[in-house]
Amino acid sequence: MTDTTTTSKSVATSETSSALVSEQGRTTIADTVVSKIAGIAAREVAGVYDLGGSTARAVGALRERIPGSSTNHGQGVTVEVGERQAAVDIQLIAEYGVSIADLATGIRRNVVDSIERMTGLEVTEVNVEVQDVHLESESADPAADEEPRVR
């Protein structure tokens, strides 16, 4: 037969051992906070052109044109945040020519370091989904090179 008092005592001890849970209270971190941290950390990695899929980027571009609005740093980032752990999913556009494996490794390292340092949460996983590759020729406005149709 198992002694239940010992079991519940060890569970209570493990809950209070977290930096976010103490005898004085509990700190809760919103998903949007972790999402912003992850988005900023991912953008810092060389080789990331932009975050988010085509729809998210289109909505973000429209949002940025509204006077007084701010950049959505969590664009392309989905998180699950628990009391002591977080999991992150990132969708991105990579620059052409970068090693995607090295890019994903750099993103994981930077995102994990940033989230754990700033929040005290343990990051259990960072999933990276590369949705497209950005080519420099795609940046230019094609309409700018065309001759005017009328004079």
pLDDT tens digit string along 31-47? 999 999 999 999 999 99
Flag whether pLDDT at 13 surpasses 50: no
* C-alpha–C-alpha distance, residues 42 and 130, integer Å: 12
Flag whether pLDDT at 98 surpasses 60: yes
Question: Are 77 and 38 in contact, with CB atoms under 8 Å apart?
Answer: yes
Model confidence band, residue 26 (pLDDT cutoffs 50, 70, 90): confident
What is the bridge-based pairing of β-strands 21-22 and 25-26? antiparallel
Share the mean pLDDT of the chain. 80
* C-alpha–C-alpha distance, residues 11 and 95, integer Å: 47
* C-alpha–C-alpha distance, residues 60 and 65, integer Å: 9
Q: Could you report the per-residue pLDDT of 114-141, keeping only the tens digit for each?
A: 999 999 999 999 999 999 999 988 655 5
Q: Helix 100-119 vs helix 31-43: angle between axes, to the nearest 10 degrees? A: 140
Lowest mean pLDDT among 2-16, 56-70, 114-128: 2-16
Which is nearest to 114 in space by CA: 11, 31, 29, 34?
Answer: 34
